[in-house]
Chains A and B, each alone.
Chain A
Amino acid sequence: EAGVAQSPRYKIIEKRQSVAFWCNPISGHATLYWYQQILGQGPKLLIQFQNNGVVDDSQLPKDRFSAERLKGVDSTLKIQPAKLEDSAVYLCASSSGLGRGGNEQFFGPGTRLTVL
Chain B
Amino acid sequence: AQRVTQPEKLLSVFKGAPVELKCNYSYSGSPELFWYVQYSRQRLQLLLRHISRESIKGFTADLNKGETSFHLKKPFAQEEDSAMYYCALSANFGNEKLTFGTGTRLTIIP
Residues of A within 8 A of B (CB): 3-4, 31, 33, 40-45, 48, 55-56, 91, 93, 95, 97, 100-101, 103-110
B residues 54-103 near A (Cβ < 8 Å) are: 86, 88, 90, 93, 95-103
Query: How many residue pairs bridge A and B at CB < 8 Å?
Result: 53
A97 to B49 alpha-carbon distance, docked (Å): 15
A44 to B44 alpha-carbon distance, docked (Å): 13
Q: Are A103 and B93 in contact (CB under 8 A)?
A: yes
Q: Are B100 and A107 in contact (CB under 8 A)?
A: no
Number of residues from B at the complex interface, CB < 8 A: 23
Q: A109 is contacted by which of B43, B52, B86, B93 (Cβ under 8 Å)?
A: B43
Q: Are B97 and A107 in contact (CB under 8 A)?
A: no
Question: Chain A binding site: helix, strand, loop or mixed by DSSP?
Answer: loop
A41 to B44 alpha-carbon distance, docked (Å): 14
A105 to B103 alpha-carbon distance, docked (Å): 17
Q: Are B102 and A41 in contact (CB under 8 A)?
A: yes
Q: List 14 A-B contacts (CB under 8 A).
A: A4-B43, A40-B9, A42-B103, A43-B100, A45-B98, A48-B97, A55-B95, A56-B95, A56-B97, A101-B52, A105-B96, A105-B98, A107-B45, A108-B43
A109 to B42 alpha-carbon distance, docked (Å): 7
Q: B102 is contacted by which of A42, A104, A107, A109 (Cβ under 8 Å)?
A: A42
A56 to chain B: which residues have CB within 8 Å?
95, 97
Q: Are A107 and B44 in contact (CB under 8 A)?
A: yes
Q: A40-B102, A41-B102, A42-B102 are in contact. Are A91 and B44 (CB under 8 A)?
A: yes
Q: Are B97 and A100 in contact (CB under 8 A)?
A: no
A55 to chain B: which residues have CB within 8 Å?
95, 97
B17: Cβ under 8 A from any A Cβ: no
